[in-house]
Amino acid sequence: MDPLIPHRRTRIVDLAVMPRNEIIEIAKKQANSIREKSNRITMLEELVEQLTGQPPPESETLQQNSSDSSMGSVQPLPSEPRSELKLQQAMEEERLVYATELSRHEGHIQELQQQLTEKTLELTELQEKVRVWREKVMITSQQDQKTIAELQEQLEKYRVSSGVTGTSLLSGMIPPEVLESAVQEKLSVWKERVKAKMQEDMDRIEQLENELQSLRAPMFTPSTTATQTNISDIKENELKETHMDPQSRSSHIQATEETIEKAVEERVAKWKKRVQETIEEDRRVIRQLQEQLDELRSNSRESNISLEAPSEVVTNIGIAAISQVNELQNQMLASQQQHKVVMQSLREEVERLQEQLAAAQREHEEAAAALEAHQLDAAQSRDETIATLSQEV
């Protein structure tokens, strides 16, 4: 055996365990490799025969081996290096396949770990939001409890007042027709007073508007008349000023215009101030009337409320308080239900990611174990082959 031929690891493949597709692919690769090497060997043999004119040594060796085999002699076949080379190539291909598969699994594991980190961050953010939401709910609940306590206290006050003052007895003693007529009489008196006050204010406003119009009319008329007078005077004095130099004439005209503008501005400022004071006075009167009207309306509402039975008022307040409490409780229940749904979905997502990560880790471990087992088998096969070849040599 040629000692220069390197010995590589061999691998034992269990064809019964491997899938059919992988067996077909391995067989195709080995067939292609054998075909290429056979073609190359044939070309080399032909080249040797052309150069030397003798058959190649391998053919002689094959003939001698065939003759020796007929005689029962044991000689190493030349096909053994080829089979060893084929096994080495198959092992290298398998090693590349396993390395590629291992790198793919590692990439998948890293991707799953990154997704798990992102989901963990999202879960942390959601938990923080839930914590803030819970604090807000607690604050709102405390405020609602305080409001409910205040309403209940007011309800107790109304009940006490209705029981102590004896309003129900008074309302039972006075007929409803008498109460209604008294209230209507009081309302009619207030309405008449309001109508009279409003008419008085309207008259006052109309009077002030007339005064304002009368003041606006002469506000510009004197200034216009003065302006026209000044213009006519200027026209009359133009002939007299012809003998004056241009500088004196322009200064005289400018002084006249400034005097006219100043007089007009002073008069306009006075009338504006007076109009502003009148408008402010009117607004004040209107505000007073509006306040009186609001007071009258509030008194009317109080009169109408006083006609109701205290028990009905208490009942209405209690019903409103109970409805408000029920609404707040429904809102709290809806918020809690929504929070539960969100937390459940997050838990399911985290569990799913953890399962994927565990599966990827298992695949990684299985691939590593399989690769280690194949390496051990290949080393064992190599040692056995070396021992067998050593014995044959």
pLDDT in tens, 77-106: 445 556 677 777 777 787 787 777 777 777
Place 221 in a pLDDT band, splitting at 50, 70 and 90: very low
What pLDDT does residue 390 have?
Answer: 72
CA 181 from centre of chain: 64
What's the whole-number mean pLDDT along residues 101-116?
79
What's the whole-number mean pLDDT along residues 384-389?
76
More confident residue, 217 or 365: 365
What pLDDT does residue 353 have?
Answer: 76
Q: What is the DSSP string of 223-239?
A: HHHHHHHHHHHHHHHHH
Most confident of 224-228, 249-253, 354-358: 354-358
The answer to whether residue 137 scores a pLDDT higher than 80 is: yes
With beta carbons less than 8 A apart as the criterion, state whether 158 and 317 touch. yes
Domain map (residue ranges) of the chain: 177-308
What's the whole-number mean pLDDT along residues 302-320?
52
Q: What is the DSSP string of 210-266?
A: HHHHHHHHHHHHHHHHHHHHHHHHHHHHHHHGGGS-HHHHHHHHHHHHHHHHHHHHH
What pLDDT does residue 251 have?
Answer: 63
With beta carbons less than 8 A apart as the criterion, state whether 317 and 153 touch. no
User: For the chain, what percent of residues have pLDDT higher than 90?
Assistant: 0
What pLDDT does residue 289 have?
Answer: 67
More confident residue, 247 or 280: 280
What pLDDT does residue 70 have?
Answer: 38
Please give the angle made by the CA atoms of 49, 51 and 55, to the nearest 5 degrees: 20
With beta carbons less than 8 A apart as the criterion, state whether 349 and 116 touch. no
What pLDDT does residue 67 have?
Answer: 42
Place 30 in a pLDDT band, splitting at 50, 70 and 90: confident
The answer to whether residue 281 scores a pLDDT higher than 60 is: yes
What's the whole-number mean pLDDT along residues 138-160?
81
What pLDDT does residue 260 have?
Answer: 60
